[in-house]
Amino acid sequence: MRQRCAAWSLLLTAAFCWSLPVPRAIAAASAPEQRAVPANPHGPTIGECGLCHLPEAWAPAVISRKFDHGRLGFPLEGAHGRTPCRACHVSLRFSEEKPKSDCVDCHQDVHQGELGSSCGRCHTARTFIDRNRMGRAHQSTRFPLMGAHLTADCEACHQQAPQGQLTYVNRPGQCADCHMSQYQGTVSPFHQVVGFSTDCVQCHTPLAWSAGRYLQHDMFFFPIYSGTHRRKWDGCSDCHTNPLDHGEFSCFTACHAHADPASVAGDHQGVSGFVYDSPYCYSCHPDGRRP
């Protein structure tokens, strides 16, 4: 009887021990190892590390094309895509800091505020000197760029002015404002001495300064761009022999058909009062045709 009680006591003790909780140390040792995932040093909104870092080398960072910076509020286009991250981000906590994104926050405004803060009207992220876009923007001003003006450097007209004076806005727009030196220096024909108008478009176009054509000559004086005298001359001096007075002219110097007095006199036999003289010719032939 005493042996049977001892056996039951051992069984009850074993059952009780198996019902007790397993010690924590034993449970931790028997569970699989788990490593804590480190937090992204750039913040939770940046994305996977593999978007910028390679397994072969953590640095330097190589930005993947899959990384969409635009979803963060500033697309990296053109030159911005080649700019180092630290040029805009002063710390690694990209999600916490909010870099300024206006053009003037990074780029010095050489226009001193004259043209506003919307740099995109003339500049692009691809290149800061986009002549095509600048030219299109200039077309909406009171001085549209045409011909040779399209190829001129901006600084040729927009020269840095003293403090307090405008460089880009309300610039003079008349021909003589830029071309007065050419006007004064032209000697064939003498522009200033003769008193030609400073409204250069009467003879010149933005396409070519040298190929001047005074088309009003046909209307107000004598047809040289139309009629029988079209392409019969090379320059003003062919007929205007006195460079200081274009009121004087000659019908004989450059025109071979009129250069022989005898031939011209023969053509005018029976014409009363005929004189081999340029003003007389003009009095009868004001349009260059036979009366």
Beta bridge partners of 208: 205
Residue 66 has pLDDT above 90, yes or no: no
Encode pLDDT of 168-202 as tens digits.
Answer: 888 888 888 989 999 999 888 888 988 889 999 88
User: Percentages helix, strand, coil for the chain, rounded to the nearest 5?
Assistant: 35, 0, 60
Lowest mean pLDDT of 1-5, 34-38, 114-118, 225-229, name the range: 1-5
Pair 206, 158: CB distance under 8 Å: no
Lowest mean pLDDT of 31-40, 69-78, 205-214, name the range: 31-40
Higher pLDDT: 102 or 44? It is: 102
Give the chain's mean pLDDT.
81
What whole-number distance in Å separates Cα of residue 7 and Cα of residue 28?
34
Pair 224, 218: CB distance under 8 Å: yes
- Report the percent of the chain where pLDDT is more than 70: 86
Pair 233, 239: CB distance under 8 Å: yes
Indicate the pLDDT class of residue 10, thresholds 50, 70 and 90: very low
Encode pLDDT of 141-174 as tens digits.
Answer: 889 998 888 888 888 888 888 877 888 888 888 8
> Rounded to two decimals, what is the model's pTM?
0.57
Encode pLDDT of 204-256 as tens digits.
Answer: 888 877 778 888 899 999 999 998 889 888 888 888 888 888 888 998 877 76
Pair 198, 189: CB distance under 8 Å: no
Residue 23 has pLDDT above 80, yes or no: no
**What pLDDT is stored for residue 223 in this prediction?**
93
**What pLDDT is stored for residue 35 in this prediction?**
62
C-alpha pair distances (Å), 263 with each of 25, 233, 266, 276: 134, 21, 5, 11
**What pLDDT is stored for residue 31 in this prediction?**
53
